[in-house]
Amino acid sequence: MRQLFVLDPLKQINPEKDSSAALMQAAQRAGDEVWVCCPADLIARGDEPLAMALPVTAEPWITAGACERLRLSGFDVIWMRKDPPVDEAYLYATHLLEVAERAGIHVLNRPSALRSWNEKLGALRFCRWMAPTLVAGRVHELAEFTHEQKEVVLKPLGGRAGLGVIRVAADAPGLNALLELVTEQGRLPVMAQRFLPAVSAGDKRILIVNGEPLGAINRRPSDGEFRSNLAVGGQAEATDLSERERLICEALAPTLRAEGLFFVGIDVIDGMLSEINVTSPTGIREVERLMQQPLADQVIERLRLLI
């Protein structure tokens, strides 16, 4: 196969930690051609999708050849692995990738799903598996919910890697002022979820491939921190899935498959679904290291079954 990865500039990628690097190396081990480009390199000439792309040797990391202007119809698979934010440039890139999808190329994850699945709001489809959750911009709604739940976590809807997530108690001084700040005076909605004290024991990242959970890690917060994201100091450790976590994955699977969300990372705290990450889910390297599992190779094997 011939695979194209649309991602951030190569110089920004740490191959020791990055899931995109793991997937590129696994594709190469499987005998596939691997090419890369950035979202700004995508082109549509009429209804013909093209890109300025580089051929790469991903293992050992990394050697790039000369840039070429290529028809995307020459690729079997295109991975959209650009990290958030999901800004204007990101959204336009998904529209250009939709031109490629209409030409019969498999784009992972499906561009329309990347646009419609906000990583916080997408989970609301499965709210029966979540802790009590409210999304609102009105300060009085958020304040009332905080008083009901006693303690909540506030999440910006466009956030990533735990950035901007705040834990606040109902009796905190200046609660309304804080809510005015995070909503930009009621202009932007935020997500409020009941704080789960069990997060001190960890937050599981479960990687789901074509509806099947293939790997997981537990992320334990560092001392004095409630956020368990690896980007803010959380420590990864080996884990197994509980029966409830398997049921959550089963509940999500039909929708994920139907909407073309091939590679997804969900976050679960104390048996409660927290988020559904669809843009560029991470965790492959940690699963491979901690669980002694060739996860990236397994993802490429599942991809071959799909194609």
N residues, the chain: 307
The reply to whether 141 belongs to the active site is no
Sort strands 190-194 and 151-156 into parallel, antiparallel or unpaired. Answer: antiparallel
Residue type, 91: L
Pick the closest to residue 93 from 41, 47, 48, 23 (CA basis): 41
The pair of structure tokens assigned to 162 is: 């735990």
Q: Which long-range contacts (CB under 8 A, 24 or more apart) does 232-236 make?
A: 232/161, 232/162, 232/163, 234/162, 234/203, 236/286, 236/290
The reply to whether 275 belongs to the active site is yes
Instruction: Determine contact, residues 274/268, Cβ cutoff 8 Å.
Output: yes
Catalytic residue among 81, 82, 110, 120: 120
The reply to whether 219 belongs to the active site is yes
The reply to whether 227 belongs to the active site is yes
Catalytic residue among 110, 160, 227, 285: 227
Catalytic residue among 267, 285, 286, 288: 267
Catalytic residue among 277, 285, 286, 288: 277
Locus of tokens 């020459």: 74
The reply to whether 205 belongs to the active site is yes
The reply to whether 120 belongs to the active site is yes
Catalytic residue among 155, 160, 194, 285: 155
Cβ atoms within 10 Å of 222's Cβ, excluding its own: 12
Instruction: Determine contact, residues 241/216, Cβ cutoff 8 Å.
Output: yes
Catalytic residue among 81, 82, 110, 219: 219
Catalytic residue among 82, 160, 194, 205: 205
Catalytic residue among 18, 101, 119, 275: 275
Q: Which residues participate in catalysis according to the annotation?
A: 120, 155, 205, 219, 227, 267, 275, 277
